Amino acid sequence: MKHLKIVALASGSGSNLQSIIDAIEKKQLNAEISLVVSSKRKAGVIARAEKYNIPVIVVERRIYKDNIRGFSAKIAQVISDFSPDLILLCGFLSFLSEEFCQLYENRIFNIHPSLLPAFGGQGAYGIRVHRMALKAGVKVSGCTVMFVDAGQDTGPIIVQKCVPVLEDDTEESLAQRVMTAEYQAYPEAVRLFGQGRLSISNNTVKISQRKDED
Amino acid sequence: MKHLKIVALASGSGSNLQSIIDAIEKKQLNAEISLVVSSKRKAGVIARAEKYNIPVIVVERRIYKDNIRGFSAKIAQVISDFSPDLILLCGFLSFLSEEFCQLYENRIFNIHPSLLPAFGGQGAYGIRVHRMALKAGVKVSGCTVMFVDAGQDTGPIIVQKCVPVLEDDTEESLAQRVMTAEYQAYPEAVRLFGQGRLSISNNTVKISQRKDED
């Protein structure tokens, strides 16, 4: 597996970033987090990054209002010095412009706390996703790691993991259980990427066999 | 678990019925298949039922054309002598009227070869469901046992089981893998029903704890 330079974009605590940091520290991933970009000035991800001596740059989303292109262009400018191989969205509460998605085509991952296509799309983020799942009465939920495209939760799916929905689940208890699956899924997807095993055809992800001691 | 009298409705081979027959023979279910209603004169389910000495009545769907009410009323008439506790749809390719669904409210199960709400609704039946799943590029699929209501795959969900989608899957190989999950899921749902553990609230199914040696 080649050494990956990763840039993470986050708006909150960046708990999913922790799964990547942990996998790197355990040598399960040959990678480094080169930079964290926070879209909020007081996001918890900032302290998390500082704890691991990861540089942080804040690009405030609120300043750009509905100017997604300007916001995305600023992020592109900020991260270009770091020449990232891969961009990971870790609870990043903004869209990215089509230009940005094209610039880093097939090199941006996001993670979503449901088994897409269920409970994705507009308004489906954070705890709301689990509210939707409980309201629908599903007995299985999970998480999805996908490539980011210009659509909303429509990019090609890389990894999905299931968890049971239990009888006495609240939104919070279900979120917690799905998060344990996310901690598995995100590093797994990054590893497949680093091993060069992912390709996209017809908007679906093909995962090639392992070739060697990757 | 009380002894259940089950009527199965089928249009094809009724392979899902086999999972119930097997569970009964293994004493995993305290139940009997009192009757099979086939909506086709030459369905494979007829030979299957005869093999186990289960009575079969054919109510041909094609005769009723778009008269779902008449077709459903005929089935209701035919099965009333058998006083079924539970009606199982086993690859039954027709809708049932609202009157029928009300008559047997909360006593009709169906099984669907995907993790609903994904890949359900109009046109989503049989191998087409797996075609949709492969086209969407999901990495996890499965099956859903649900109560039947007047909608299409919208009834309260009782049991769901996951299976992985593999790299070289065809519609057929995925169908096969999902079917192994269906063989687990359908008897499990029937057992929960027989144990009196299912209740519906807000269109979701609550499963109560086991009380005794059910």
Considering only CB atoms, A204 lies closest to which of B137, B159, B204, namely B137
Q: What is the mean pLDDT of residues B10-35?
A: 96
pLDDT tens per residue across span A35-66 = 999 999 999 999 999 999 999 999 999 999 99
User: ipTM of the assembly?
Assistant: 0.90
Instruction: Using the predicted structure, report yes or no on whether residue A129 has a pLDDT greater than 80.
Output: yes
Instruction: Using the predicted structure, report yes or no on whether residue A178 has a pLDDT greater than 90.
Output: yes
| pLDDT at residue B151 in the model | 76
| pLDDT at residue A182 in the model | 98
Q: What is the mean pLDDT of residues A145-153?
A: 87
Instruction: Tell me if chain A has a CB within 8 Å of the CB of B124.
Output: no
Catalytic residues of A: 112
Mutation site, B109, B130, B135, B140, interface A, largest A CB count within 10 A: B140
CA distance A125 to A113: 8
Q: Find, among A165, A167, A184, A185, the residue nearest to A175 by Cα.
A: A165
What is the torsional sign of CA B179, B185, B186, B187? positive
Which tokens belong to B162?
Answer: 């996951």
| pLDDT at residue B108 in the model | 97
What is the torsional sign of CA A26, A186, B160, B187? negative
Instruction: Tell me if chain A has a CB within 8 Å of the CB of B166.
Output: no
The nearest alpha carbon in chain A to B160 belongs to: A139
Between chains, do A115 and B158 touch, taking CB under 8 Å as contact? no
- β partners of residue B13: none
Instruction: Tell me if chain A has a CB within 8 Å of the CB of B140.
Output: yes
Chain A residues within 8 A of B159 when measuring between CB atoms: 139
Instruction: Using the predicted structure, report yes or no on whether residue B71 has a pLDDT greater than 90.
Output: yes
**How does residue B150 score in pLDDT terms, banded at 50, 70 and 90?**
confident
* 3-class SS letters over B115-182: CCCCCCCCCCCCHHHHHHHHHHCCCEEEEEEEECCCCCCCCCEEEEEEEECCCCCCHHHHHHHHHHHH
Q: What is the mean pLDDT of residues A6-30?
A: 96
Q: Give the 3-state secondary structure of residue B203.
A: coil
Instruction: Using the predicted structure, report yes or no on whether residue B212 has a pLDDT greater than 70.
Output: no
**How does residue B213 score in pLDDT terms, banded at 50, 70 and 90?**
low
Q: What is the mean pLDDT of residues B148-174?
A: 93
Instruction: Tell me if chain A has a CB within 8 Å of the CB of B139.
Output: yes
DSSP state of B66: T
**How does residue A213 score in pLDDT terms, banded at 50, 70 and 90?**
low
Q: What is the mean pLDDT of residues B150-161?
A: 90
Instruction: Tell me if chain A has a CB within 8 Å of the CB of B210.
Output: no
pLDDT tens per residue across span A103-118 = 999 999 999 999 999 9
Percent of chain A with pLDDT over 90: 89
Would you list the domain boundaries of chain B?
4-207
Between chains, do B117 and A136 touch, taking CB under 8 Å as contact? yes
Chain B residues within 8 A of A204 when measuring between CB atoms: 134-137
| pLDDT at residue A209 in the model | 87
Question: What mean pLDDT is reported for chain B?
Answer: 95
**How does residue A122 score in pLDDT terms, banded at 50, 70 and 90?**
confident
**Who wins on pLDDT, A179 or B212?**
A179
Chain B residues within 8 A of A117 when measuring between CB atoms: 118, 136, 138
Instruction: Using the predicted structure, report yes or no on whether residue B153 has a pLDDT greater than 90.
Output: no
Q: Apex CA B26: angle with CA A164 and CA B56, to 5°?
A: 100
CA distance B160 to A91: 28
CA distance A46 to B41: 69
Q: What is the mean pLDDT of residues B27-47?
A: 97
Between chains, do A158 and B139 touch, taking CB under 8 Å as contact? yes
| pLDDT at residue B209 in the model | 87
| pLDDT at residue B143 in the model | 98
Residue-wise burial string across B28-53, b where 16 or more C-beta atoms lie within 10 A, e elsewhere: ebebebbbbbbbbeebbbbebbeeee
| pLDDT at residue B214 in the model | 52
**How does residue A76 score in pLDDT terms, banded at 50, 70 and 90?**
very high
- β partners of residue B200: B205
Q: What is the mean pLDDT of residues B28-36?
A: 97
Counting one residue from chain A and one from chain B, the pairs whose CB atoms sit within 8 A come to 70
Q: What is the mean pLDDT of residues A86-112?
A: 95
Instruction: Using the predicted structure, report yes or no on whether residue A177 has a pLDDT greater than 60.
Output: yes
pLDDT tens per residue across span B72-127 = 999 999 999 999 999 999 999 889 999 999 999 999 999 999 999 999 988 898 99
| Homologous superfamily, domain B4-207 | Formyl transferase, N-terminal domain (3.40.50.170)
Residues shown for chain A: 214
Instruction: Say if residues A95 and A118 touch (Cβ distance below 8 Å).
Output: no
Question: What mean pLDDT is reported for chain A?
Answer: 95
| pLDDT at residue B196 in the model | 96
